[in-house]
Amino acid sequence: MSTEMNQEPFDGAQGKPGDDRAVDLVLRPQNWDDYVGQDKVKRNLKVILGAALKRKEACDHLLFFGQAGLGKTTLANLVALELGAPLRITSGPALEKMADLAAVLTNLNAGDVLFVDEVHRLNRLIEEVLYPAMEMRKLHLVVGKGPAARTVTMDLPPFTLVAATTRPNLLSAPLRSRFGASFKLDYYEVVDIEAIVRRSARLLGVQIDDKAISIIARASRYTPRTANRLLRRARDYAEVHGTGVIDEAAALKTMEMLEIDELGLDSHDRRILEIIIDKFGGGPVGLATLGAAMNEDAGVIEDVYEPYLMSIGLLTRTPGGRKVTEAAYQHLGRSHQAKML
C-alpha cells in the first residue's frame, strides 16, 4: 500500500500520466494569490476554512470535482496550508484493501487533512468503512474470520477529508452526502490561463512574448496543467531551434509539431469527431459503439475527451447518443454533403 499519490490523473488528449511531474510541482501555486481564477470557489472555501479555524475545530469534509488538470490537488494543498495542517495524500485505487484504509486513518494526527484523489475509484467495501470514519470518527475493523470474527472499533482523531474526482456521478449518494461542501472547478477563462502561463514562464526563467502567451492559452483547453505543458514544449522548441525566447513563431511551430489546432484539439480529439462523421453519419452514436469503433475505452472517451469537445460546442449529447455539431463540420473543413455520401 502506498499513501503517496501514485497516479497522476490522465491529462486530456495531450499528455501522459506523470508527464513532467517534477516541473508540475515547481509550478504548483503555494498560496491563494498565485491560484489564478476560480474566484467563487476560493471565496466560498475561505469562508468555510475561516469558520473552522475560528471554532478551532476540524473543517468539514470537502469534495472537489472537475476535469483533470484544473487545480483540485493544488486546492487541497492550499486547504491544508490554510488550516496549518499537513496534507496526507492517497488515492481511491491505492486504498484497495481494508488494511490500506486502516493504516492511513490510524496514522492521522488531530487536524490533519487527508487528500483522496480519484475518490470515485474507491471500492464499496472501503467506502462503507469510510462512512463512520467521516461522520463519527470511528473505525470499525473486522478482526479474524468465520465464527471467531469480531468487530473492533477505534476512535480516530478529528481530521478533514478532501476528496477529488473527475467523475462525481460515479460517487454513491451516501458518500457524497458525507461531504460538508462540494466545489466544481470549471474550465478557466483565457485571461486566467494567460496569467498562469506568464507566471510559469517567470518561474521557469524563460522569456515569452504576449502573442506566444495568447497562442498557448488558446490551445490549452482552458486547463492550467495543459497550458503549463504546452509552455514547456514551446521552451524546448525555442531552445533547440531559436534563441531560447518563446515568440509567436516558436509557439505556432510547437503547436504544429504537437498537431494541436487553434481550438486546442489534438489528433485524437479530431479522430473522435471524424469517426462520428465518417462512420456514423455525424451521429447520434452510443458511447459504447463509438468506443468500439475507436478501439478506445468508452469511459476514457466520456471522462477525458468529450467534456472539452462538448464545452466548446463541437459535440452534443442527445437521447440517441453523441452527435457532432455544425461547428464541428466547419472546424474540420467538412461539409454535410460528405455525410450524405
Query: Choosing from 178, 218, 221, 225, which is the catalytic residue?
Result: 225
Is 180 in contact with 48 (CB distance < 8 Å)? Answer: yes
Q: Note whether 269 binds ligand ADP by CB under 6 A.
A: no
Residues 204-263 that bind ligand ADP (CB under 6 A): 224-225, 228
- Phi and psi angles of residue 261, each rounded to the nearest 5 degrees, phi first: -90, -175
Catalytic residue among 11, 20, 24, 117: 117
Question: Is 261 noted as a catalytic residue in this protein?
Answer: no
CB of 220 to ligand ADP, least distance (A): 10
What is the C-alpha separation between 42 and 193, in angstroms, rounded? 17
- 122 Cβ contact list (under 8 Å, min separation 6): 92, 95, 116, 130, 175
12 part of the interface to ligand ADP, by CB under 6 A? no
178 is catalytic: no
For the window 53-92, what string marks contact with ligand ADP as x by the rule CB under 6 A? ---------------xxxxxxx------------------
* CA proximity to 201, closest of 10, 23, 1: 23
Instruction: Tell me, by CB under 6 A, how many residues bind ligand ADP.
Output: 21
54 is catalytic: no
Asked if 329 interacts with ligand ADP (CB under 6 A), we say no
**Is 166 a known active-site residue?**
yes
39 belongs to the catalytic site: no
Sequence letter at residue 340: M
Q: Which residues contact 340 (CB under 8 A, 6 or more apart)?
A: none
Q: How far apart are CA 281 and CA 287, in angstroms?
A: 15
Q: Looking up cell 478532501, which residue turns up?
A: 162
Q: Which of 63, 68, 129, 73 is nearest to 96 (CA)?
A: 129
The cell for 223 is 486547463
Calculate Rg over the CA atoms of the chain: 22
* By CB under 6 A, residue 29 contacts ligand ADP: yes
Q: Which C-beta is closer to ligand ADP: that of 69 or that of 264?
A: 69
From residue 164 to residue 203, the character string flagging contacts with ligand ADP as x (rule: CB under 6 A) and all else as - is: x-------------------------------x-------
How far apart are the C-alpha atoms of 284 and 148, rounded to whole Å? Answer: 56
Residue of minimal CB distance from ligand ADP?
71
Figure out which of the listed residues 15, 37, 283, 284 binds ligand ADP, where binding follows CB under 6 A.
Answer: 37
**Residue in 11, 72, 221, 325 annotated catalytic:** 72
**Of residues 5, 13, 27, 161, which one binds ligand ADP by CB under 6 A?**
27
The residues annotated with a catalytic role in the active site are 72-73, 117, 166, 225
